[in-house]
Chains A and B, each alone.
Chain A
């Protein structure tokens, strides 16, 4: 008899609880846009944040709300932009493929250490103490904060500086936001001519800090037939809208900081997920 009462009491409590949850979930239900689920299914789901939203879920929600461009997903590239455009019934603007590029060539041969650093082995921590112990205060510190942040494992540290494996790079831009020196830039994937330096010191000082530094001699500026290269703050800057990769500047550069980079094209049938694995 006792067990029956106990059973009934528990049953009653459980029933009340169940009814309460059902009632609350009915009256407090938040209607969800059905488009959101559809759009979310198109997105790659790696939550890189390159679109500027907190993750794929957040971007899908914003898209479903409307007023957001459908071509912001960088890992998803053109195919995802087209798919989302199809769902929303809008024409997606052409997608620009970008890759991360480390604007520094201050490897172990070219630079030296001004002091022994014994602290926490991250670029962020090292840069807090007088900008790090690298002789060039603009250059790569080589502790690999970017490599740790990269969701595609596309960055490695070699000879004390970071290198991006552009075939694996998703173009999410997480590394550009992680680098305390701000020397990683997103550049168009078809680019071939790059400035491998971020040093803004005057020529002589830059040369003292790093053998491979841009000394701001303006030879490239004078050479370029398309007016695509300018020296700003003692540092060559390429305008990729104008650059046609004729390599005239690469041949002229006395320090070799202008280089031709090779960006292997990612085959269209390789998805971001494949690259991640």
Chain B
């Protein structure tokens, strides 16, 4: 029961409190690039979530059983990048074979996940936080859902910005960044909330 409670805490805090985009400022590139339309934002969010889960499932054993046992912890970054890139390639091949419609829908965003720093961030943070395998997977799921949430919220806001008359100096990226900072501020309000729910 106690461990189940811990998993819930990890899940909720990685979705809301430590949101990768809005609190840790990782994965900003797709957050700004692919949030123009809500359907693309959802597609990207789901794809990132799947890749995060796969990447954690692959990198955690590599870190624990290969790198740590050989005392090669410093190879973490380069090894993880390699593994994530491989996974994305394989995922692309599998999707192309079994779900051409989803493959088409995600289009160029799928290979772009290779360079998404949020994925690398999740896998490395799971090691730093000393999570067990199950905890790591739950944390990755939470981070992916948090990314999805941020993407969907922001694409909604951006569609509203498109219909608004923005003063000339703020048009385009400027007003987008200001809007992003407001959502980020709003998410700061979640800090401490999960711990107090289960206190």
Whether A28 contacts B79 by the Cβ 8 Å rule is: no
> Any chain B CB within 8 A of the CB of A108?
no
Per-residue contact bits, chain A 4-16, to B (CB 8 Å; 1 contact, 0 not): 0110011001100
Decide: A9 near B66, CB < 8 A? Known: A14-B82, A17-B82, A120-B163.
yes
Contacts known (A9-B70, A25-B93); A17 close to B83, Cβ less than 8 A: yes
Determine the chain A residues whose CB is within 8 A of the CB of B96 once the complex forms. Answer: 28, 30
Convert B62-92 into 0s and 1s, putting 1 for each residue whose CB lies closer than 8 angstroms to a CB of A.
1000110010100100110011011001100
Contact of B78 (CB < 8 Å), options: A10, A20, A119, A125: A10
| Nearest B residue (CB) for A54 | B104
Query: CB within 8 Å of B: which of A154-184?
Result: none
Shortest CB–CB separation between residue B53 and chain A, in angstroms?
17
Contact call B75/A28, Cβ cutoff below 8 A: no
Are A24 and B93 interface neighbours, CB within 8 A? Answer: yes
Given known A13-B82, A24-B94, A28-B96, contact A6–B75 (CB-CB < 8 A): yes
Q: How far does the Cβ of A19 sit from chain B's closest Cβ, in whole Å?
A: 10
Q: In the assembled complex, which residues on chain A have CB atoms less than 8 Å from the CB atom of B5?
A: none
| Chain A residues with CB below 8 A from B85, complex form | 17
Bound-state Cα–Cα, A56 to B97, Å: 22
CB neighbors of A among B34-86 (8 A): 62, 66-67, 70, 72, 75, 78-79, 82-83, 85-86
Which of these, A10, A30, A120, contacts B165 with CB under 8 Å?
A: A120
Query: Within residues 144 to 199 of chain B, which ones have a CB less than 8 A from any CB in chain A?
Result: 163, 165
Q: Is the CB of A13 within 8 A of B62?
A: yes
Counting chain A CB atoms within 10 Å of each CB, the highest count among B62, B78, B90, B98 belongs to B90
With contact pairs A13-B62, A13-B79 given, residues A6 and B97 touching in the complex (Cβ less than 8 Å): no
CB-based contact B94/A10 at 8 Å: no
Partner of A119, one of B72, B86, B89, B165: B165
The size of the chain A interface, using a CB distance under 8 A, is: 18
| A28 contacts B62, C-beta separation under 8 Å | no
Q: How far apart sit A29 and B78, CA to CA, in the bound complex (Å)? A: 28
Report B73 CB to chain A, min CB distance, Å. 11
Q: Nearest chain-B residue to A17 (Cβ)?
A: B86
State in angstroms the CA–CA spacing of A10 and B89 once bound together: 19
Chain B positions within 8 Å of A119 at CB level = 165
Q: Does chain B have a CB within 8 A of A46?
A: no
B residues less than 8 Å from A13 (CB atoms): 62, 66, 79, 82-83
State how many angstroms separate the Cβ of A254 from the closest Cβ of chain B. Answer: 43
The answer to whether A10 and B75 have CB atoms under 8 Å apart is yes
Separation of A120 and B162 alpha carbons in the complex (Å): 9
Q: A6-B75, A13-B79, A120-B163 are in contact. Are A28 and B94 (CB under 8 A)?
A: yes
Name the A residues within 8 Å of B67 (CB-CB). Answer: 9
B89's nearest neighbour on chain A, judged by CB, is A21
Question: With contacts A6-B75, A9-B75, A10-B78 known, what are 17 further pairs, Cβ within 8 A?
Answer: A5-B72, A9-B66, A13-B62, A13-B82, A13-B83, A14-B82, A17-B83, A17-B86, A20-B86, A20-B90, A24-B94, A28-B96, A29-B93, A30-B97, A30-B100, A119-B165, A120-B163
Q: Which 4 A-B pairs have the closest CB atoms?
A: A17-B86, A28-B97, A28-B93, A24-B93
8 contacts between A and B (CB under 8 A): A6-B75, A9-B75, A13-B62, A17-B85, A17-B86, A28-B94, A28-B98, A30-B96
B interface, CB within 8 angstroms of A: 62, 66-67, 70, 72, 75, 78-79, 82-83, 85-86, 89-90, 93-94, 96-98, 100, 163, 165
